[in-house]
Amino acid sequence: MASKLSAIMDLGIKAPFAKDDKVLYLGASHGITALLISEMVGENGFLFCVEISKESMKELLPICEEHSNMAPLLYDAGLPELYKDKVCEVDVIYQDIAQRNQSEILKQNADLFLKKNGYVVFIVKTQSIDAVKEPSKVLSKLKKNLSWLEIEHVLDLDKTHAKHYAIIGRKK
């Protein structure tokens, strides 16, 4: 299965990663998308890879060891105060986690780490928020929690990732 970031780019949307950017990746999983982002930011950029799963971390670690611009962080993204001394101010947050309170986790991390006018790529898993409601209704309600974000794109990723959306925007 293709990564969600690849699905976004396949829709003709330019990913908001630039050379030398610092990126916080919440939910880095096995490292496939993290590797893609690492290449986009280049050797002078940096990627902080937060992952809660020890099993996923086993696959992420070797990738990070091979790339000097990546750091694996075994933490719960919902508790950013636990890793605040390990992450600097970032240009972009990429979040892909499956939790009911996805938008709250994003906001907590953005408040601590995202620079003003920094970008967010928020992968929304509607079934993780509400498995019964229509995905578009979940998304509509979720967008109200993102008033701190100037939303540039809302993308339906259902073609390759069922009941997933991507929200791309800038911190106000």
Enter the pTM of the model.
0.95
All structural domains of the chain with their residue ranges: 4-8+20-171
Quick one: tokens of 87? 């992450």
d(CA 54, CA 97): 15
**pLDDT on residue 144:** 87
17-67 residue pLDDT tens: 999 999 999 999 999 999 999 999 999 999 999 999 999 999 999 999 999
Contact 115, 138 (CB under 8 A): no
In the predicted model, residues of the chain with pLDDT beneath 50 are 1
Q: Does the 4-8+20-171 domain belong in CATH 3.40.50.150?
A: yes
- For residue 163, give Cα distances in angstroms to 103, 123, 126, 147: 16, 11, 6, 22
d(CA 157, CA 152): 16
